[in-house]
Amino acid sequence: MATKYWLLKAEPDSRVVKGKDVKFSVDDFEHVKTSPWEGVRNYEARNLMKEMKIGEKAVFYHSNCKNPGIAAFAEVAKEAYPDYTAWDESHPYYDSKSDKDKPKWVMVDLMFAARVKHFIPLALLRYIADLATNEPPEELEYIGQDGVKAIKTMNLVTRGRLSVQRVDANAWGTIHLLADNGGWEEMDLKPRKKTTKPATRTKAKPSKIATKVVNTKNNTKPADRGEGDESSLSSLDSSSEEEGSNGPKAAKPSRAASRKRKVPEDRTDDTQPPRRSTRRKVKD
Task: Give whichever of 11-20, 44-53, 205-214, 257-266 has the largest mean pLDDT.
Answer: 44-53
Q: Are strands 57-62 and 34-36 parallel, antiparallel or unpaired?
A: unpaired
Q: Do residues 272 and 51 lie in contact, with contact meaning Cβ atoms separated by under 8 Å? A: no
Q: How far is CA 151 from the centre of its chain?
A: 17
Full-model pTM:
0.68
Rounded to 10 degrees, what is the CA torsion of 159, 163, 166, 167? Answer: 80
What pLDDT, on the 0 to 100 scale, is given for residue 119? 98
pLDDT at 228 over 60: no
pLDDT at 207 over 90: no
Domains of the chain: 5-191+274-281 (3.10.590.10)
Cα–Cα distance, 86 to 98 (Å, whole number):
6
103 or 203: whose pLDDT is higher?
103
What is the average pLDDT across 214-218?
46
What pLDDT, on the 0 to 100 scale, is given for residue 191? 83
Partner residues linked to 144 by β-bridges: none
107-157 tens-digit pLDDT:
999 999 999 999 999 999 999 999 999 999 999 999 999 999 999 999 999
Length of the chain: 284
Cα–Cα distance, 253 to 208 (Å, whole number):
17
Q: Which amino acid is at 191?
A: P
What pLDDT, on the 0 to 100 scale, is given for residue 274? 47
Partner residues linked to 164 by β-bridges: 8
Cα–Cα distance, 238 to 226 (Å, whole number):
15
pLDDT at 250 over 60: no
Q: Are strands 5-10 and 57-62 parallel, antiparallel or unpaired?
A: parallel
